[in-house]
Structure 1
Amino acid sequence: MTVAYTASDRNNVTCQTLAPFRWYRYTGTDEGYLTNACPEDFQCGSYSQIWLNDSLPDVNEGETLKSVCIRKKNSCCAAKTTIRAKNCTDFVIYFIIPVPDCANYCYEAPKEDPALSSNKDPICDGDVESFPALVWIIIISLGLLLLLMGLLVFVRGRLKRKNRLQTEEGNEIKNLPPLYDRDPQIKRTRFNRNMLNNTRI
């Protein structure tokens, strides 16, 4: 979306849906520059906008980090972060990062109807999508690590419970009286044997 488009109210906003961790080129403007001025209410089609709080990327900078602000309500910079950017002489590409719900990247005025297209093969030399692959590897690795840790905690809990039950069972057995004190028949038999032994003496 661009500053030339303004939503009528909060109920008529248009939220961008972009896959994060990819290079994008905005084709609705000649150069594809993010605006470096704080947008007004509902500009760029939303109540929350992302704008460049930095200098425009220069060709000589190569791939660089630029500061961006997220505008919300009456705050021009309710949150701040950085994104990767590169000036490819004829246009600029940005490495899109996850953003809050309905926070639109806000670009300069368009040359035609706004359109945002993915630049899977950026013309700039050296632009390869190695970082997204690395991100997914890290995410999957962390997920597997968390799964393994959860499994270990579960197994450890089961073992502790089993040991506790065995200990409680052992204590119950220890606290039981001798068998002959619990069984009257055995007790009478023991008494008769004692009487017999005393008689023989």
Structure 2
Amino acid sequence: MFYTTCVVILVLQISLSDAAFDACTNYTSMKYVDRRAVQNQLEIGSINPISDDFLESGWYRIESAAGENMPTEPPGSLRCGTWYPIWLNGTLPTTIGEEIVGQVCLQGFTKNCSLTWNIDIKYCSGDYLVYNLVRSETTSSGYCFGTEAVTATIETPSTSIATNTDDPINGFDPCDQYSLIDYQDRRAATRTLVLGEYTAISDDFLTSGWYRVERSSCEKMPTSAPEPFHCGTWYPIWLNGQLPTTPGQQVQQTVCLQSFTQTCLYSWNVDIKLCTGDFFVYNLLNSKIASSGYCFGTLDVCAVKEDDTPSPNANTEYTLEKETKEYVKILVVVGVIFIIVVVVLSVLLAVYCRKSRRKITNSNNVPQPGKTNKTGISPPLYKRKTSSVNIQSKTHIDSPPPYRSREPSVTSIGNFNPDKKLTATDIFAVKNTDNI
């Protein structure tokens, strides 16, 4: 009975949790929707490809003029703003409230369906679709939505809409309720992004709203296209129009995204107001392009932090810091050169020692018959000499040999008297043998 009750409670909790969550109201708006259309072909080198291997898995809604439907046929490589488009290998739900499990395919350069996985798709009562997307496992791959590409390039200045908002509606005045833009000193049009020194500013993470640049001499957005890799980012965003000139005046102008090949690859509108205190506030929208950022300030001084601005009459911390960095760079270069010189000298010394050792070894060797020396003259044949051996008598100390008389044996025909010693005269005297 106890276990049955627990099972019933668990089923009720699951049912209530499912009922409490509604994907049609709990979703996130998809980024870069205008670039995800099938007809949007990626221009390599002009902009970074969409890469959904950084996408956070969850429910998403597509709000784009190109459409919200995921294509059900292979789009082709380098489509949908990415290298490897992800498309739906099936059909979309058609009945309100219907939720299906669909299979998506990643298209490669040679195969229409290199990888597959499943996602959930639901048709909501507001006549729109939501997708439960899973993070891709492949770099430079992205989900496709919509068919026709949205043309966002505008080469002519937009028409400004000027209004006077000295009397704010509903008590809201952007001149009093704004946020300070981040990285002010890095957003100057004269500031070049040094790869590896700083991370590129990326205003696709910017929270949309009213912003102010606090430095009065650097608060104006440039009205001409900066170069790529300026304003502390890869793709600078500049004002394709004019700033308001009358205090209290608010205008709507077009901003452009500068790419490597086009001065205005994408554009959208922002509101700008000149406040009574003689400063500007900008109603900025988050960019749809990674590594892109809004530009503010055109003077060289805008590329330097305000508290580090160099004075013409005195040495400042900025100058000291800059000189210190230069000295460090010089020391690093000198150190690297010194290490290279030491390594080269060590190698040369090792080679020299090896050659010297080889010469000494060869000079001590006996020349071999038939071989030619360095001068090309054959050495004389080796002649073996007779060896001389110094024969010395050896004395055996342990057991000397028995004494042997050196006196010669005498054979006598006559009587031999052993007691008689022979003298030298007796031995060598010539005897008369006539009587014998």
Q: Which TM-score applies when normalising by structure 1?
A: 0.50
**Is 1:22 equivalent to 2:214 in the alignment?**
no
Deviations 1:14-62 (A, max 9, x none): 2145642211001244261111110012110111011000012222572
Give 1 or 2 for the bigger CA radius of gyration. Answer: 2
Contact 1:31 1:92 in 2 (8 A): no
**Is 1:107 equivalent to 2:293 in the alignment?**
no
Q: Structure 1 78/88 Cα, relative in aligned 2: closer, same or farther at 3 Å?
A: same
**Is 1:56 equivalent to 2:243 in the alignment?**
yes
1:101 counterpart letter in structure 2 = A
Q: Which has the higher helix share?
A: 1
Structure 2 unaligned regions, length at least 5: 1-186, 308-436
2:255 is aligned to: 68
Percentage identity across aligned positions? 23
Question: After the TM superposition, which residues 12-161 of structure 1 pair with which residues of structure 2 at under 5 Å, given as runs?
Answer: 12-17=198-203, 19-30=206-217, 32-59=219-246, 62-89=249-276, 90-99=278-287, 100-108=289-297, 109=299, 110=302, 112-113=304-305
| CA RMSD, 1 decimal | 2.7
1:113 counterpart letter in structure 2 = K
* Cα separation, 2, equivalents of 1:111 and 1:6: 9
Contact 1:85 1:92 in 2 (8 A): yes
Give the drift of 1:12: 4.8
Deviations 1:42-101 (A, max 9, x none): 110111011000012222572220111111112100011110110114111101101021
1:83 counterpart letter in structure 2 = V
Greater relative contact order, per chain length (Cα 8 Å cut-off, separation 6+): 1
Question: After the TM superposition, which residues 157-168 of structure 1 pair with which residues of structure 2 at under 5 Å, given as runs?
Answer: none
2:264 counterpart letter in structure 1 = C
2:286 counterpart letter in structure 1 = P
* Cα separation, 2, equivalents of 1:114 and 1:20: 25
Secondary structure at 1:107 match in 2 = coil
Q: Structure 1 80/111 Cα, relative in aligned 2: closer, same or farther at 3 Å?
A: closer
**Is 1:4 equivalent to 2:190 in the alignment?**
yes
Secondary structure at 2:190 match in 1 = coil
* Cα separation, 1, equivalents of 2:274 and 2:232: 25
Contact 1:28 1:113 in 2 (8 A): no
Give the drift of 1:112: 4.9
Contact 1:35 1:51 in 2 (8 A): yes
Structure 1 unaligned regions, length at least 5: 116-201
Secondary structure at 2:257 match in 1 = strand
Q: Structure 1 101/8 Cα, relative in aligned 2: closer, same or farther at 3 Å?
A: same
Deviations 1:116-141 (A, max 9, x none): xxxxxxxxxxxxxxxxxxxxxxxxxx
Contact 1:54 1:66 in 2 (8 A): yes
* Cα separation, 1, equivalents of 2:280 and 2:222: 12
Q: Which TM-score applies when normalising by structure 2?
A: 0.24
